[in-house]
Amino acid sequence: MLRFYWVIFWNLYHIYMIPKMSYMAKHTEKFDEAKRYKIARRAIYYMMRTGNIKTVCDGLENLPKEGGYVLYPNHQGKFDALSIMITHAKPCSVVVDDAVSYGILIKEFIDLVEGKRMKLDDVRQALEIIKETSSEVKEGRRYIIFSEGGYTNNGNTLQEFKPGSFKMAMMAKAPIVPVALTDSYKVFGENSLAPVTAKVHYLPPLYYEDYKDMNSREICALVKSQIQKAIDDELAARESKRGWFHRK
């Protein structure tokens, strides 16, 4: 958490952005999604610059060129959605746990991108959010939803994925884009100010034709396996590179 407080302190001169974000969120008739997303990414940029944070990505060519879709990343920490948004040029939003969505800067950010707050202990409300979001995806919006639900110091290790989270894409008959995150947990999860790099791997999407005959559990297992493989490949490549340097 040290880096989190460091970022807040060194961005106090940008404090004006908080009321600006709130104002823009309340007046969507004046500020379209593209304008609001631009401000959101600017805020992320300021955080990264002062926090010695770098984000790299690959697989941008895998993102569908048209229409709405749902991004399904693994969940490692507070920087996960931000690492995706800073590398994802087209506006996208996020589904978050209602219980953690009202902290300083978090509330303003979620409101700015018109994120959805899901009460994980309220099945009826969660279902309404899934229906509402899937309807918006049909209309062309893009959403991030974390199938793991939360994170608990899991680092680059996957936790259990929730099949129900895939209902959003299934109801919209929209593309499912698996996203593998590595080292994102280090950004705000380690008590350090050393330079840190989070990596985002956009994997080939599953289109409706690919999964229409599958149930949510089968889709969940497939997406998790693809993310696991991407993480394993990344870690193996690092180990191989480290071994090469040692041999040198």
Contact, 10 vs 55, CB < 8 A? no
What is the Cα–Cα distance from 55 to 17, expressed in whole angstroms?
Answer: 22
What is the Cα–Cα distance from 94 to 114, expressed in whole angstroms?
Answer: 8
- Assign domain 2-242 to its CATH superfamily: Glycerol-3-phosphate (1)-acyltransferase (3.40.1130.10)
Nearest to 46 by CA among 84, 19, 2, 86: 86
If you average pLDDT over residues 192-207, what whole number do you get?
Answer: 96
First CA to last CA distance, the chain: 37
Q: Rounded to the nearest 10 degrees, how much is the dihedral formed by the CA atoms of 146, 158, 217, 139?
A: 20
Contact, 61 vs 121, CB < 8 A? no
Q: What is the pLDDT confidence band of residue 247, given thresholds at 50, 70 and 90?
A: low
What is the Cα–Cα distance from 63 to 2, expressed in whole angstroms?
Answer: 34
If you average pLDDT over residues 8-18, what whole number do you get?
Answer: 83
pLDDT of residue 4: 82
Half-sphere exposure of 89 (CA within 13 A, CB side): 5
If you average pLDDT over residues 81-109, what whole number do you get?
Answer: 92
Q: H/E/C letters for each residue in 27-67?
A: CCCCCCHHHHHHHHHHHHHHHHHHHCEEEEEECHHHCCCCC
Each domain of the chain, given as residue ranges in start order, spans 2-242
Element (H, E) at 181: strand 176-182
Q: What is the pLDDT confidence band of residue 3, given thresholds at 50, 70 and 90?
A: confident
What is the Cα–Cα distance from 3 to 193, expressed in whole angstroms?
Answer: 6
> What percentage of the chain has pLDDT greater than the value 70?
97
Cβ neighbour number for residue 2 with a 10 Å cutoff: 12
pLDDT of residue 204: 98
- pTM of the predicted structure, to 2 decimals: 0.92
3-state SS, residue 8: helix
pLDDT of residue 246: 54
What is the Cα–Cα distance from 70 to 68, expressed in whole angstroms?
Answer: 7
Tens of pLDDT, residue by residue over 168-186, are: 999 999 999 999 999 999 9
Nearest to 102 by CA among 86, 119, 90, 85: 119
Residue 104 pLDDT greater than 80, yes or no: no
Sign of the CA dihedral 12, 14, 17, 19?
A: positive
Bridging pattern class, strands 176-182 and 142-145 = unpaired
Nearest to 113 by CA among 24, 202, 188: 24
